[in-house]
Chain A
Amino acid sequence: MARGGSNHSRLLLVILLVSSLLLITLDLRGVSLISGSRSVTQTVLSPIQKATSDIFAPVGRFMSDVKNFGKTKAEIQDLRTANTRLKNQAVLNADIKGQLAELKKVLDLAGRGSFKVVSARVIGRGSASTFSQTVTLDAGTSSGIRKNMTVISENGLVGVVKDATINSSIVLLMSDPTFRIGVRVARSQSVGVLMGEGTNSYTVELLDPSGSLEVGDSLISIGSDNNRPYIPGLPVGVVTKVDHTTTLLTQSATVKAYTNLNDLGIVSVVVQAPTAAPNKPINPTPNPTVTVFVTPTPAPSVSNTASPSLSPSPTSSVKKAKK
């Protein structure tokens, strides 16, 4: 009897193991029924997550504050020091203001290549049952969010949309070990790849052996084909430690991200890529077109012709309109 029971258990075990392996194979081969099951779960979960988000957000924030208590204290001290330094610098800034006015005009030109974003609230964080680093947003395809869209915060890159349902979307954070993004060093224009490591620090590896990295170098995203998954020109992080290992062909460094991924409340998803990316020429803004309407004045010997003119004659009433 016991032997029969044991055989039955083994048979059951084999059947279930084979079933599991079959499911894994089907999923890896991209069978839509299997892949879609997670989207269905997300659709079911998102209303519950939204509801519980409001109730449990204070608890989550409290735990986050407790966790970061020591760090916050140190940050306050750092900020005080920085504030004193900035006050001294403010005196010198008067001279720079004039230059800034001119710079703004240039920035306005670049600003025309701005992108359209959809802001969303973070309603959930990745499960503790997996090692992936994700957050769930309360906006989905109904808001125009699609898979492989860039997600940003006020400080820079956050991650990329991994999956989207009607009312929610899952964002793969840049700290995830599978995350990779092409970056450019702002100072030297060297190109490299930034990799997530599952922690708050990141690694950047340059592609060019002659490229150089220095502590304090800012990293900017290069962008992808058709601006998906990544749009170009986003602040990604700053180099905090350079690895001088001579065995490596190219230089690598440790990077601190501009965005604090532990404290995400509201993020923005770039739903429309820049119309003119930095790698394409941006045409200067055309001057406002002047449209001139000339009303003929009854004059005995003059036959007026309606010709556009920037300096109309005193006998004409002129209306200007910006196109």
Chain B
Amino acid sequence: MSPTRLSISSAFLFLIFVIQESVISRVHLPITGFSLYLAVLICLIALEDRNGAIVMGFIGGLVLDLSPTSQSPFGQWALIFTIIGYLVSSNLESVGDFTSQPITFVLFIAAGSGFALLTYLVIGSALGEESGSLNHNLVVVLGNFIWTLLFTPLFLPLIRRVRELTLTSRERV
């Protein structure tokens, strides 16, 4: 992953973060809100190689840690997405690349978002955070999974296109 592409990807993630915090969070969807940022980050992680996925996870997590509404300690999301980046990249090698199969990929992104939220809860509990009732949190995770499943097909081609634009000619090969 070249430094240039890393910078462009970080800027792109920050843009998505701004959209999430300014626009998406204002829309009151039934059950719970939809996190565009989580979906995009999981998507980008899955499209990277092993090192790229780990670095992308760390940077994406740091951007999410900047969220002023977050109550968790700074670095918690970076920790979570570094782990997710590693898990995704190492398992992609054994499971095989499914990113070219749209339905499987969308399901993976939705499940990945849910897994990220669950990991956030678990690590948050380990750090002594109060997260409310388990039932409510499970509903939030489930709601996020459903909305991600419904909305991801709408923007997935765009994310792929943007990523392809950032690839160097060497990386394209």
- Complex interface bits, B132-154 against A, C-beta within 8 A gives 1, otherwise 0: 11001100100010000000000
Chain A residues whose CB sits within 8 angstroms of the CB of B55 once the complex forms: 12, 16
B interface, by DSSP: helix, strand, loop or mixed? helix
Q: Shortest Cβ distance from A130 into chain B, in angstroms?
A: 5
Report whether B137 and A198 are in contact in the complex, using a CB–CB cutoff of 8 Å.
Answer: yes
Of all chain B residues, which has the CB nearest A38? B68
Tell yes or no: B165 within 8 A of A by CB.
Answer: no
Which A residues touch B33, using CB under 8 A? Answer: 125, 127-128
Are A132 and B136 closer than 8 Å at their CB atoms? no
Interface residues of B (CB under 8 A from A): 18, 20-30, 32-35, 37-38, 50-51, 54-55, 58, 61, 64-79, 82-83, 86, 89, 117, 120-121, 124, 127, 129-133, 136-137, 140, 144
Please choose the segment from A59-67, A182-190, A215-223, A240-248 that sits at the chain B interface, where 4 or more of its residues have CB less than 8 A away: A59-67
B132 to chain A: which residues have CB within 8 Å? Answer: 131, 176-177, 196-199
Given contacts A34-B75, A38-B74, A52-B26, list 20 more A-B pairs with CB under 8 A. Answer: A9-B89, A19-B75, A20-B61, A20-B75, A24-B127, A28-B73, A52-B22, A59-B26, A60-B27, A66-B30, A124-B22, A128-B32, A129-B20, A130-B71, A130-B72, A131-B120, A131-B121, A131-B137, A178-B130, A199-B133
Contact indicator A128/B79 (Cβ below 8 Å): no
In angstroms, Cα B79 to Cα A24, docked, is 9
Say whether A38 contacts B26, CB under 8 Å: no
For residue A57, CB closer than 8 A to chain B, the reply is yes
Q: Which one of A39-47, A103-111, A141-149, A228-236 contacts B?
A: A39-47
Chain A residues with Cβ under 8 A from B67's Cβ?
38, 41, 127, 129-130
CA distance A91 to B34 in the complex (A): 51
- 22 A–B pairs (Cβ distance < 8 Å), ordered by A: A12-B54, A13-B82, A16-B55, A20-B75, A23-B74, A23-B75, A34-B75, A35-B74, A37-B66, A41-B68, A45-B68, A56-B23, A127-B37, A129-B20, A130-B70, A130-B120, A132-B69, A134-B69, A163-B68, A177-B130, A196-B132, A197-B133
The complex places the Cα of A305 from the Cα of B132 at a distance, in Å, of 76
Secondary structure at the A interface, as helix, strand, loop or mixed, is: helix
**CB contact between A24 and one of B30, B35, B66, B75 (< 8 Å): that residue:** B75
Q: Let me know if A27 is at the binding interface, CB within 8 A.
A: yes
Which residues from A are CB-within-8-Å of B27? 56, 59-60, 63
A320 at interface (Cβ–Cβ under 8 A)? no
Give the CA-CA distance A129 to B137 in the complex, in Å.
Answer: 12
Distance A64 CA – B140 CA, assembled complex (angstroms): 17
Among A67, A125, A127, the one with the most B-chain Cβ atoms within 10 Å of its Cβ is A127
Kindly identify which residue among A27, A53, A63, A178 contacts B75, using a CB–CB cutoff of 8 Å. A27
Question: Is there an interface contact between A37 and B21, defined as CB atoms closer than 8 Å?
Answer: no
Closest chain-A Cβ to B127's Cβ sits at a distance in Å of 7
Q: Does A262 contact B (CB under 8 A)?
A: yes
Contact between B73 and A16, CB atoms less than 8 A apart: no
- Report Cα–Cα, A24/B126, bound state, in Å: 12
Q: Measured between alpha carbons, how far is A42 from B55 in the docked complex, in Å?
A: 25
Residue A22, interface by CB 8 Å: yes
- Cα A5 to Cα B65 with chains together (Å): 29
Which residue, of A8, A27, A66, has the highest number of chain B Cβ atoms within 10 A?
A: A27
Name the one of B68, B70, B72, B79 contacting A39, with C-beta atoms under 8 angstroms: B68
In the bound complex, do residue B50 and residue A126 qualify as a contact, i.e. CB atoms below 8 Å apart? no
